[in-house]
């Protein structure tokens, strides 16, 4: 992980230069920081160029670069800590001498890095041919190998691909990409298509070639000529250009099907697709790839076929077939067998591999239970083709994505990963040169089918959560361990304590056993650890893990553990960039010693507001302040502004103008008190504000009258304001508003009559709990509405029928509303269907039935008494499953 180490060192130097004035001033006078940064940039570029070179020579050099970068970072940060803790009376006296020593060591690192750079350049200058493996043909004939082509669960996929291949309405040459995660069945699907008798009859010529990550054009040309049926010993001796010409002429005028399996790059596609003529005769190219960008580039219609995971029942059917074939499944193993197939999470490759393993073993129930409990780690330990296949996806990653991918291993299995948390952690770890790159990195990993999308935003489809298949997560953890990048402790991962001491990042999952004793001593001595991520341990076991000997810590995330208060020991960790804890906190004034802090997250279940000190205004690097509820005092006159603050929530009232001192704030949450001394008219100063949430503690009509909002707002959530509907004009006039969520009587009143010219950009409207009866609206009031959700609107008579005429409307969702409102939604759907609008969807959730208390009389009491008496004595037999 040399690239990540070099990038981290570069970011550390930049943090020091911009944050530690005395150190940076002395360092600048010595002329050392910028030469080191420039040299690190050179090394990063070389590492990026050689990232796909898998030779042992390159790996050895990368390890050297990684270790030197780590060493340089350790030296700098250890000195930085000592400098910060030193008393002012001694600082100037010793500073010059110590900085000279520091930069003497750094100069040695620079000199050695220069040597390695020269070695890397020599390797880059060598012929690429020397590093390419010999191409091996993985599909030796037209007929698909027997057992490989048996498919379970993809009948619909097979039909769709065949339909697209044989669609006579499209006479031009068409390319149809099949996309999905490694092991999901892309090649198996292609094989079934290729060997289908109808396909063989439909096309005059069929040929299959596997491309793989590293390929030789000549080998591919010979394979294609062989499948076409024209290859001879004489032709084998021809030049590459002659072979290409022969392929083109052999296919000219023929209706052909070419399968290009396992394509890893756009260059590979460009190298080969030119061989296939465009004759407007229905010829097709079927392409399989793990990379969405390759599929989008090659596709003729910008529509690729995405392979999905098997359903639970499909997984079970495949599992049964592979373990016992035609034989009956032993009843004693069925429950645990279903658990195993379910734990494979719909990945066919994993199902087949684990089934093969179980088929070779005896039918021991205990053995099967162990497999069900430790499936991913068992597969990883077998070094099977299964994990090797997925490793290809990791090896193909560009160097800037590898640390981001491996870092996903910090999260437990089956964990829905909040994207906002993931990105903040990536930034704190120094994996990004700029925080704006984070979303792009995430989309690249999704496009490579290494992570999948979870929840999306209500309007713009922005990804809120993501997931990773357990087998890929296992791959993350294993590779991260091998590369000394990350140590994960859980029930299934039990590395030796001394192994953890070499890691710079530690993650502990809630199923990890705690032994104390000598393991605790080892972990206390881990003075090079940069990150601790805890998941679900109790407070009594935490102190011995992060308070001692981890002075270089930059990330501390233990929000899953409820602490009794803000731990003062945290203030010893002066390099912290990211803190996430759970407690009722009074943040001390000495928080300012954490000069590099970017993110402070405090979750509090008590409902009592936490208190921030006034000194917080002297921490200009803060980007995110997130509390369950927090009191932020007004800034003193001489305080610095929180110029970089991006998000602030949930602020317990707001009694001062905040716009001038947090100019970049784009997300704000407020708990507004009726006794607040100020109105909300100063919010208009927040010209970059995108998201606003206000929770009122009492009716807010008087407050809303004086509110002034920035025109930049796109998303507003209001709760408990009991505002009269007539004041909705204040929000309707916002020109960029796209999302409006009204919760728990945000507005009240029997009637809402929107005004013309309002909500021109609104796409999402949620009304959750209100006494609204009559909503007088039509399609002109919400011209761009896409999603309407009504919940707990028990008094609403109907949804205005003209709402259905909004051209952009996609969904109406009704949950626990009046029967008449439900009927009106169904009527809107019927009307739109009759007009040919099949795009609108209406979702109705059952209205909860009220439960009324029973009034018991003597007779009812006697009946119940006899009934339960019969139950006790067995007169009435009840079977409970």
Give the Cα separation of 396 and 183 in Å (integer).
Answer: 16
**DSSP letter string, 771-819:** ---EE---TTTSTT--EEEEES-TT-----GGGGG-TT--EEEEES--H
Task: Report helix, strand or coil for 466.
Answer: strand
How close are the terminal C-alpha atoms of the chain, in Å? 53
Quickly list DSSP for 415-440.
--EEHHHHHHHHHHHT--SSTTHHHH
> Which residues make Cβ contacts (< 8 Å) with residue 341, sequence separation at least 6?
312, 315, 316, 318, 319, 351
Q: With bands split at pLDDT 50, 70 and 90, how would you rate the model's confidence at 339?
A: very high
Q: What is the pLDDT of residue 16?
A: 72
DSSP 490: B
Report the pLDDT value the prediction gives residue 579, as an integer from 0 to 100.
95
Determine the pLDDT at residue 310: 93
- Range from 229-233, 417-421, 632-636 carrying the lowest mean pLDDT: 632-636
Six token digits for residue 192? 């079934």
Question: 737: phi > 0 → left, psi -120 to 50 → alpha, else beta; which?
Answer: beta
Q: How far apart are CA 783 and CA 761, in angstroms?
A: 8
Distance CA 171, CA 211 (A): 26
Q: How confident is the model at residue 147 (pLDDT cuts 50, 70, 90)?
A: very low
Q: How confident is the model at residue 808, as a pLDDT?
A: 95
Instruction: State yes or no: pLDDT of 701 exceeds 90.
Output: no
642 φ, ψ (degrees, to nearest 5): -85, 70
The region of weakest confidence among 41-55, 192-206, 594-608, 658-672 is: 41-55
Q: How far apart are CA 619 and CA 604, in angstroms?
A: 23
DSSP class of residue 591 equals: G
Q: Is 636 exposed, middle or buried (0-12, 13-18, 19+ CB in 10 A)?
A: exposed
Q: Per-residue pLDDT for 587 more than 90?
A: yes
CA–CA distance from 841 to each of 47, 332, 461, 787, 824 (Å)?
51, 45, 17, 10, 14
Q: How far apart (Å, rounded) are the C-alpha atoms in residues 214 and 82? A: 50
């944050």: which residue's tokens? 19
Spell out the residues 6+ positions from residue 609 whose beta carbon is closer than 8 angstroms to its own. 627, 629, 630, 631, 652, 671
Q: What is the 3-state secondary structure (H, E, C) of 306-373?
A: ECCCCCHHHHHHHHHHHHHCCCCCCHHHHHHHHHHHHHCCCCHHHHHHHHHHHHHCCCCHHHHHHHHH
Half-sphere exposure of 166 (CA within 13 A, CB side): 17
Q: How confident is the model at residue 578 (pLDDT cuts 50, 70, 90)?
A: very high
Residue 241: pLDDT band (50, 70, 90) is very high
Average pLDDT value for residue range 208-217: 89
> Which tens digits make up the pLDDT trace of 475-495?
898 899 888 888 888 765 555
Report pLDDT for 127: 42
Note the pLDDT tens digit of each residue in 99-122.
Answer: 777 777 777 777 787 788 778 777
Q: Identify whether the C-beta of residue 529 lies closer than 8 Å to the C-beta of residue 505.
A: yes
pLDDT, tens digit, 9 for 90 and up, residues 165-185: 998 888 999 999 999 999 999
For residues 651 and 655, give the distance between their C-alpha atoms in angstroms, rounded to a whole number: 10
pLDDT value at residue 196? 92
Query: Do 319 and 355 contact (CB within 8 A), yes or no?
Result: yes
| DSSP letter (8 states) at residue 511 | T
Take residue 226 and report the two structure tokens written for it. 């062989």
In the predicted structure, residue 802 carries a pLDDT above the cut 50 = yes
Report pLDDT for 665. 94
Q: Quote the tokens at residue 232.
A: 């001879």
Contact assessment for residue 769 and residue 743, using Cβ atoms and an 8 Å cutoff: yes
């Amino acid at each position: 992980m040399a690239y990540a180490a070099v990038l981290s060192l570069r970011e550390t130097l930049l943090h020091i230069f911009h944050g530690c004035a005395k150190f940076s001033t002395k360092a600048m006078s010595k002329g050392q920081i910028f030469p080191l940064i420039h040299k690190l940039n050179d090394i990063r570029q070389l590492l990026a160029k050689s990232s796909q070179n898998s030779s042992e020579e390159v790996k050895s050099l990368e390890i050297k670069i990684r270790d030197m970068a780590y060493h340089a970072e350790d030296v700098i940060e250890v000195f930085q800590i000592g400098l910060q803790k030193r008393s002012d009376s001694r600082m100037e006296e010793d500073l010059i001498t110590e900085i000279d020593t520091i930069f003497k060591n750094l100069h040695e690192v620079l000199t050695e890095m220069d040597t390695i750079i020269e070695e890397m350049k020599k390797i880059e200058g060598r012929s690429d041919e020397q590093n390419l493996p010999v191409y091996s043909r993985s599909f030796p004939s037209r007929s698909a190998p027997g057992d490989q082509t048996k498919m379970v669960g993809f009948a619909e996929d097979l039909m769709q691909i065949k339909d697209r291949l044989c669609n006579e309405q499209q006479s031009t040459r068409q390319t149809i990409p099949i996309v999905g995660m490694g092991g999901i069945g892309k090649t198996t699907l292609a094989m079934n298509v290729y060997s289908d008798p109808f396909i063989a009859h439909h096309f005059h010529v069929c040929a299959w070639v596997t491309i793989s990550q590293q390929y030789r054009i000549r080998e591919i040309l010979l394979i294609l000529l062989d499948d076409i049926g024209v290859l001879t010993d004489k032709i084998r001796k021809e030049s590459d250009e002659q072979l290409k010409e022969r392929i083109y002429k052999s296919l000219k005028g023929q209706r052909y099907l070419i399968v290009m399996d396992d394509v890893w790059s756009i260059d590979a596609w460009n190298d080969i697709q030119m061989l296939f003529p465009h004759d407007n005769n229905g010829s097709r190219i079927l392409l399989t790839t793990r990379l969405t960008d390759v599929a989008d580039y090659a596709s003729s219609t910008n529509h690729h076929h995405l392979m999905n995971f098997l359903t639970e029942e499909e997984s079970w059917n495949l599992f049964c077939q592979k373990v016992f074939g035609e034989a009956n499944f032993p009843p004693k193993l069925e429950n645990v067998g279903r658990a195993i197939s379910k734990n494979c999470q719909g990945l066919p490759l994993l199902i087949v591999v684990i089934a093969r393993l179980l088929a070779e073993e005896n039918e021991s129930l205990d053995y099967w239970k162990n497999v069900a409990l430790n499936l991913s780690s068992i597969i990883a330990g077998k070094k099977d083709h299964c994990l090797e296949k997925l490793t290809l996806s990791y090896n193909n990653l560009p160097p800037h994505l590898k640390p981001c991918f491996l870092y996903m291993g910090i999260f437990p299995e089956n964990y829905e990963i909040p994207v906002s948390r993931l990105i903040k952690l990536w930034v704190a770890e120094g994996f990004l040169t700029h925080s704006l790159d984070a979303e792009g990195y995430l989309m690249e990993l999704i496009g490579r089918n290494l992570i999948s999308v979870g929840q999306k935003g209500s309007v713009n489809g922005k990804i809120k959560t993501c997931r990773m298949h357990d087998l890929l997560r296992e791959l993350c953890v294993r590779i991260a361990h091998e590369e000394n990048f990350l140590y994960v402790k859980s029930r299934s991962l039990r590395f030796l304590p001394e192994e953890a001491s070499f890691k710079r990042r530690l993650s502990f999952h809630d199923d990890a056993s705690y032994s104390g004793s000598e393991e605790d001593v080892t972990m206390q001595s881990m003075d090079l650890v940069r990150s601790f991520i805890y998941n679900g341990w109790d407070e009594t076991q935490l102190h011995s893990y992060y308070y001692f000997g981890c002075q270089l810590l930059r990330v501390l995330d233990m929000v899953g553990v409820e602490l009794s208060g803000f731990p003062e020991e945290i203030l010893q960790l002066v390099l912290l960039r990211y803190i996430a804890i759970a407690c009722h906190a009074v943040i001390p004034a000495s928080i300012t010693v954490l000069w590099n802090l970017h993110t402070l997250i405090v979750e509090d279940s008590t409902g009592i507001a936490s208190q921030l000190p006034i000194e917080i205004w002297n921490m200009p690097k803060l980007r995110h302040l997130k509390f369950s509820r927090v009191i932020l005092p007004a800034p003193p006159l001489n305080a610095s502004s929180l110029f970089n603050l991006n998000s602030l929530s949930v602020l317990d009232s707001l009694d001062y103008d905040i716009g001038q001192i947090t100019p970049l704030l784009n997300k704000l949450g407020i708990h507004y008190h009726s006794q607040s001394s100020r109105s909300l008219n100063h919010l208009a100063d927040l010209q970059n504000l995108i998201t606003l949430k206000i929770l009122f503690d009492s009716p807010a009509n008087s407050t809303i009258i004086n509110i002034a909002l920035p025109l930049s707002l796109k998303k507003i959530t209001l709760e408990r304001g009991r505002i009269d509907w007539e004041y909705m004009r204040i929000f309707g006039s916002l020109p960029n508003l796209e999302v409006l969520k009204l919760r728990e009587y945000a507005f009240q009143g029997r009637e809402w009559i929107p005004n013309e010219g309002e909500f021109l950009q609104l796409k999402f409207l949620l009304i959750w709990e209100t006494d609204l009866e009559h909503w007088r609206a039509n399609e002109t009031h919400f011209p761009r509405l896409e999603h309407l959700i009504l919940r707990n609107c028990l008094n609403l008579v109907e949804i205005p029928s003209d709402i259905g005429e909004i051209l952009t409307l996609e969904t109406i969702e009704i949950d626990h509303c009046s029967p008449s409102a439900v009927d009106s939604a169904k009527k809107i759907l019927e009307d739109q269907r009759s007009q040919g609008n099949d795009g609108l969807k209406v979702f109705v959730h059952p209205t909860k039935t009220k439960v009324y208390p029973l009034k018991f009389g003597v007779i009812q009491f006697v009946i119940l008494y006899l009934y339960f008496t019969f139950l006790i004595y067995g007169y009435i037999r009840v079977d409970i499953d």
